[in-house]
Amino acid sequence: QKEVEQDPGPLSVPEGAIVSLNCTYSNSAFQYFMWYRQYSRKGPELLMYTYSSGNKEDGRFTAQVDKSSKYISLFIRDSQPSDSATYLCAMSFNDYKLSFGAGTTVTVRA
Amino acid sequence: SAVISQKPSRDICQRGTSLTIQCQVDSQVTMMFWYRQQPGQSLTLIATANQGSEATYESGFVIDKFPISRPNLTFSTLTVSNMSPEDSSIYLCSVAGGSGGVETQYFGPGTRLLVL
Protein backbone atom coordinates (compact mmCIF):
# COMPACT_ATOMS: atom_id res chain seq x y z
CA GLN A 1 0.00 0.00 0.00
CA LYS A 2 1.36 3.41 -0.95
CA GLU A 3 1.68 5.98 1.78
CA VAL A 4 -0.33 8.52 -0.20
CA GLU A 5 -3.19 7.57 -2.50
CA GLN A 6 -4.71 10.11 -4.84
CA ASP A 7 -7.96 9.73 -6.72
CA PRO A 8 -7.03 8.74 -10.26
CA GLY A 9 -8.02 10.96 -13.12
CA PRO A 10 -8.32 12.32 -15.51
CA LEU A 11 -11.07 14.80 -14.68
CA SER A 12 -12.82 16.85 -17.33
CA VAL A 13 -15.22 19.57 -16.22
CA PRO A 14 -16.99 22.49 -17.90
CA GLU A 15 -15.82 26.01 -17.16
CA GLY A 16 -17.38 27.34 -13.97
CA ALA A 17 -17.77 23.93 -12.34
CA ILE A 18 -16.38 22.98 -8.94
CA VAL A 19 -13.38 20.67 -9.11
CA SER A 20 -12.94 18.27 -6.20
CA LEU A 21 -9.63 16.50 -5.65
CA ASN A 22 -8.91 14.00 -2.90
CA CYS A 23 -6.06 12.10 -1.27
CA THR A 24 -5.89 9.59 1.53
CA TYR A 25 -2.85 8.60 3.53
CA SER A 26 -1.90 5.75 5.78
CA ASN A 27 0.59 7.26 8.22
CA SER A 28 -1.03 9.34 10.93
CA ALA A 29 2.34 10.94 11.72
CA PHE A 30 2.15 13.17 8.65
CA GLN A 31 2.02 16.76 9.88
CA TYR A 32 2.14 19.05 6.84
CA PHE A 33 -0.17 18.86 3.84
CA MET A 34 0.27 20.61 0.52
CA TRP A 35 -1.33 20.85 -2.86
CA TYR A 36 0.79 21.56 -5.92
CA ARG A 37 -0.25 22.42 -9.45
CA GLN A 38 1.95 21.28 -12.30
CA TYR A 39 1.53 22.53 -15.82
CA SER A 40 2.93 20.47 -18.65
CA ARG A 41 6.73 20.71 -18.82
CA LYS A 42 6.92 22.88 -15.69
CA GLY A 43 7.94 22.34 -12.08
CA PRO A 44 5.26 21.92 -9.39
CA GLU A 45 3.84 25.19 -8.06
CA LEU A 46 2.76 25.36 -4.43
CA LEU A 47 -0.95 26.18 -4.22
CA MET A 48 -1.97 25.52 -0.66
CA TYR A 49 -0.29 24.50 2.55
CA THR A 50 -2.07 23.39 5.73
CA TYR A 51 -0.93 22.08 9.06
CA SER A 52 -3.99 21.31 11.12
CA SER A 53 -7.34 19.71 10.48
CA GLY A 54 -9.95 22.04 9.07
CA ASN A 55 -10.41 24.28 6.07
CA LYS A 56 -8.11 26.86 4.51
CA GLU A 57 -9.30 29.16 1.80
CA ASP A 58 -7.32 31.19 -0.73
CA GLY A 59 -9.36 32.84 -3.44
CA ARG A 60 -11.06 30.14 -5.48
CA PHE A 61 -9.15 27.36 -3.73
CA THR A 62 -10.15 25.60 -0.51
CA ALA A 63 -8.02 22.93 1.15
CA GLN A 64 -9.50 20.56 3.69
CA VAL A 65 -7.65 18.28 6.07
CA ASP A 66 -9.34 15.60 8.17
CA LYS A 67 -6.63 13.98 10.25
CA SER A 68 -9.05 11.61 11.98
CA SER A 69 -9.99 10.10 8.61
CA LYS A 70 -6.51 10.62 7.08
CA TYR A 71 -8.11 12.43 4.17
CA ILE A 72 -7.32 15.70 2.43
CA SER A 73 -9.18 17.54 -0.31
CA LEU A 74 -8.76 20.49 -2.63
CA PHE A 75 -11.74 22.31 -4.10
CA ILE A 76 -11.50 24.73 -7.00
CA ARG A 77 -14.54 26.98 -7.40
CA ASP A 78 -15.54 28.67 -10.64
CA SER A 79 -12.97 26.66 -12.55
CA GLN A 80 -11.26 28.27 -15.53
CA PRO A 81 -9.49 26.78 -18.55
CA SER A 82 -6.26 28.10 -17.02
CA ASP A 83 -6.81 25.66 -14.13
CA SER A 84 -6.18 22.78 -16.53
CA ALA A 85 -3.12 21.06 -15.06
CA THR A 86 -2.03 18.11 -12.97
CA TYR A 87 -2.70 18.51 -9.26
CA LEU A 88 -0.48 16.76 -6.78
CA CYS A 89 -1.13 16.26 -3.10
CA ALA A 90 1.94 16.03 -0.88
CA MET A 91 2.59 15.58 2.79
CA SER A 92 5.50 15.37 5.17
CA PHE A 93 6.58 14.57 8.68
CA ASN A 94 8.50 17.20 10.59
CA ASP A 95 11.56 16.43 8.43
CA TYR A 96 9.86 18.23 5.52
CA LYS A 97 10.59 15.40 3.07
CA LEU A 98 7.57 15.27 0.80
CA SER A 99 5.61 12.15 -0.11
CA PHE A 100 3.50 12.75 -3.19
CA GLY A 101 0.29 11.32 -4.55
CA ALA A 102 0.25 10.12 -8.13
CA GLY A 103 -1.45 13.28 -9.36
CA THR A 104 -4.79 14.01 -10.99
CA THR A 105 -4.93 15.63 -14.41
CA VAL A 106 -7.74 18.15 -14.70
CA THR A 107 -9.10 19.62 -17.92
CA VAL A 108 -11.50 22.56 -17.73
CA ARG A 109 -13.46 22.86 -20.96
CA ALA A 110 -14.31 26.34 -22.19
CA SER B 1 8.56 32.61 -2.57
CA ALA B 2 12.11 31.80 -3.66
CA VAL B 3 13.16 32.03 -7.29
CA ILE B 4 14.85 28.79 -8.28
CA SER B 5 16.77 28.13 -11.47
CA GLN B 6 18.16 24.89 -12.80
CA LYS B 7 20.78 24.24 -15.44
CA PRO B 8 20.59 22.65 -17.90
CA SER B 9 16.86 22.77 -18.58
CA ARG B 10 17.18 19.67 -20.74
CA ASP B 11 19.82 17.36 -22.13
CA ILE B 12 20.22 14.27 -24.23
CA CYS B 13 23.07 12.05 -23.09
CA GLN B 14 24.70 8.80 -24.10
CA ARG B 15 24.62 5.83 -21.79
CA GLY B 16 27.66 5.47 -19.57
CA THR B 17 28.25 9.21 -19.29
CA SER B 18 27.50 11.54 -16.37
CA LEU B 19 25.56 14.80 -16.13
CA THR B 20 25.74 17.42 -13.42
CA ILE B 21 22.61 19.48 -12.75
CA GLN B 22 22.86 22.82 -10.98
CA CYS B 23 20.26 24.40 -8.72
CA GLN B 24 20.54 28.07 -7.78
CA VAL B 25 18.24 29.95 -5.38
CA ASP B 26 17.96 33.72 -5.19
CA SER B 27 18.01 33.77 -1.37
CA GLN B 28 19.41 31.69 1.44
CA VAL B 29 17.34 28.64 2.35
CA THR B 30 17.63 26.12 5.12
CA MET B 31 16.84 22.98 3.19
CA MET B 32 17.39 21.78 -0.36
CA PHE B 33 16.10 18.52 -1.82
CA TRP B 34 16.42 16.63 -5.08
CA TYR B 35 13.47 14.75 -6.58
CA ARG B 36 12.97 12.59 -9.64
CA GLN B 37 9.83 12.46 -11.75
CA GLN B 38 9.84 9.55 -14.14
CA PRO B 39 7.67 9.73 -17.26
CA GLY B 40 3.98 9.77 -16.35
CA GLN B 41 4.69 9.35 -12.65
CA SER B 42 4.75 11.48 -9.54
CA LEU B 43 7.76 12.82 -7.69
CA THR B 44 10.12 10.66 -5.66
CA LEU B 45 12.64 12.10 -3.23
CA ILE B 46 16.24 11.21 -4.07
CA ALA B 47 18.09 12.95 -1.24
CA THR B 48 18.39 15.91 1.08
CA ALA B 49 21.33 18.16 0.20
CA ASN B 50 23.03 19.15 3.44
CA GLN B 51 25.16 22.26 3.52
CA GLY B 52 28.74 21.44 4.40
CA SER B 53 28.19 17.72 4.86
CA GLU B 54 27.23 14.59 2.94
CA ALA B 55 23.75 14.35 1.48
CA THR B 56 21.14 12.09 3.07
CA TYR B 57 19.82 9.55 0.57
CA GLU B 58 16.42 7.86 0.47
CA SER B 59 15.98 4.14 0.12
CA GLY B 60 16.90 3.02 -3.38
CA PHE B 61 19.27 5.88 -4.08
CA VAL B 62 23.03 5.79 -3.46
CA ILE B 63 25.80 8.33 -3.41
CA ASP B 64 27.87 6.60 -6.09
CA LYS B 65 25.02 6.97 -8.56
CA PHE B 66 23.74 10.39 -7.47
CA PRO B 67 26.54 12.39 -5.85
CA ILE B 68 25.28 15.69 -4.46
CA SER B 69 27.08 18.81 -3.38
CA ARG B 70 25.84 21.81 -1.41
CA PRO B 71 28.66 24.26 -0.84
CA ASN B 72 26.48 27.07 0.52
CA LEU B 73 22.90 28.06 1.37
CA THR B 74 21.89 29.03 -2.19
CA PHE B 75 23.43 26.38 -4.47
CA SER B 76 23.45 22.62 -4.96
CA THR B 77 24.40 20.15 -7.67
CA LEU B 78 23.17 16.65 -8.47
CA THR B 79 25.23 14.38 -10.70
CA VAL B 80 23.64 11.44 -12.46
CA SER B 81 26.52 9.02 -12.96
CA ASN B 82 27.09 6.21 -15.42
CA MET B 83 23.71 6.86 -16.99
CA SER B 84 21.40 4.26 -18.50
CA PRO B 85 18.10 4.76 -20.34
CA GLU B 86 16.30 4.06 -17.05
CA ASP B 87 17.68 7.37 -15.73
CA SER B 88 15.60 9.28 -18.27
CA SER B 89 13.49 11.49 -16.03
CA ILE B 90 12.83 15.00 -14.91
CA TYR B 91 15.11 15.97 -12.03
CA LEU B 92 13.84 18.73 -9.75
CA CYS B 93 15.39 20.59 -6.90
CA SER B 94 13.26 22.07 -4.15
CA VAL B 95 13.94 24.44 -1.31
CA ALA B 96 12.41 25.15 2.08
CA GLY B 97 13.19 27.41 4.98
CA GLY B 98 13.48 30.67 3.13
CA SER B 99 11.20 33.62 3.65
CA GLY B 100 8.16 31.36 3.33
CA GLY B 101 9.13 29.31 6.37
CA VAL B 102 10.50 25.82 6.61
CA GLU B 103 7.15 24.14 6.06
CA THR B 104 6.62 25.58 2.59
CA GLN B 105 8.62 23.92 -0.16
CA TYR B 106 9.14 25.36 -3.62
CA PHE B 107 10.35 23.64 -6.74
CA GLY B 108 12.61 24.59 -9.56
CA PRO B 109 11.54 24.22 -13.21
CA GLY B 110 13.23 20.84 -13.56
CA THR B 111 15.87 19.32 -15.82
CA ARG B 112 14.59 16.96 -18.50
CA LEU B 113 17.08 14.20 -19.11
CA LEU B 114 16.93 11.70 -21.95
CA VAL B 115 19.51 8.92 -21.99
CA LEU B 116 20.04 7.08 -25.25
* pLDDT tens sequence across B40-72: 888 999 999 988 889 999 999 999 999 999 999
> Chain A contact for B48, CB < 8 A?
yes
**CB atoms < 10 A from the CB of A60, how many?**
14
Shortest Cα–Cα distance, A52 to chain B (Å): 13
Decide if B80 contacts B86 (C-beta within 8 A).
no
Q: To 10 degrees, the CA torsion angle through A31, B95, B49, A32?
A: 0
Task: Please tell me which residue of chain B has the smallest CA distance to A39.
Answer: B109
- The answer to whether B42 contacts A97, with C-beta atoms less than 8 Å apart, is no
| Surface of B (60-89) touching A: CB under 8 A | none
Q: B51: Cβ–Cβ under 8 A, 6 or more apart, which residues? A: B32, B70, B71, B72, B73
C-alpha pair distances (Å), B11 with each of A78, A91, A99, B21 = 39, 30, 27, 10
pLDDT at A96: 84
Is B110 an 8 Å CB contact of chain A?
A: yes
Give the residue-averaged pLDDT of A15-25. Answer: 97
Nearest CA in chain A to B57: A97
How far is the C-alpha of A4 from the C-alpha of B42, rounded, in Å?
11
pLDDT tens sequence across A39-78 = 998 999 999 988 888 899 999 999 999 999 999 999 999 9
Contact A46 B94 (CB under 8 A): no
Q: What is the pLDDT of residue A7?
A: 86
Q: How do strand B68-72 and strand B89-98 relate by DSSP bridges?
A: unpaired
Contact A100 B44 (CB under 8 A): yes
Q: Which H/E stretch holds residue A13?
A: strand A11-14
A102-106, B39-43, B101-105: which has the minimum mean pLDDT? B101-105
Alpha-carbon distance of B14 to B110, in angstroms, equals 20
Q: How far apart are CA B47 and CA B35, in angstroms?
A: 7
> For residue B76, what are the contacts with CB-CB under 8 A and spacing of at least 6?
B22, B23, B32, B34, B49, B68, B69, B70, B93
Q: How many CB pairs under 8 A join A and B?
A: 53
Amino acid B100: pLDDT: 63
Residues 7-26 of A with CB under 8 A from B: none
Confidence of residue A5 (pLDDT cuts 50, 70, 90): very high
Q: Contact B48/A103, CB-based, under 8 Å?
A: no
- 8 Å CB contact of B105 and A41: no
Region B13-33: mean pLDDT is 95
What is the bridge-based pairing of β-strands B43-49 and B56-57?
A: antiparallel
Q: Do the chains contact at A49 and B109, CB–CB below 8 Å?
A: no
pLDDT of res. B12 = 98
Contact across the interface for A51 and B103, Cβ inside 8 Å: yes
The shortest CB-CB distance from A43 to any of B41, B48, B107 is to B107
How many other C-beta atoms can be found within 10 angstroms of the C-beta atom of residue A79?
Answer: 22
Q: What is the pLDDT of residue A15?
A: 97
Q: Does B41 sit within 8 Å of A102, measured CB to CB?
A: yes
